[in-house]
Amino acid sequence: MNTTEYAIGTLAAAGFAATLLTLSDSEPVKGALRDVILRALDTPL
């Protein structure tokens, strides 16, 4: 791969990360993640 392909891949990854950050900052997603974590911690071994 050449430098242009790396640059495009880096920009795409940064855009994807920004989208995930925006989504994870919303209250419904925070609540869903909290519920998943609490259920996982509550599961008996």
pLDDT in tens, 1-45: 589 999 999 999 999 999 989 988 889 988 998 999 999 999 887
Distance CA 19, CA 1 (A): 26
How many domains in the chain? 1
pLDDT at 29: 87
What token pair was written down for 9?
């891949």
Contacts of 30 (CB under 8 A, 6+ apart): 24
Contacts of 23 (CB under 8 A, 6+ apart): 29
**What pTM does this model have?**
0.56
pLDDT at 1: 59
DSSP class of residue 25?
A: T
Provide the domain limits for residue 12. 3-42
Angle at CA of residue 22, ends 18 and 38, nearest 5°: 120
Half-sphere exposure of 5 (CA within 13 A, CB side): 2
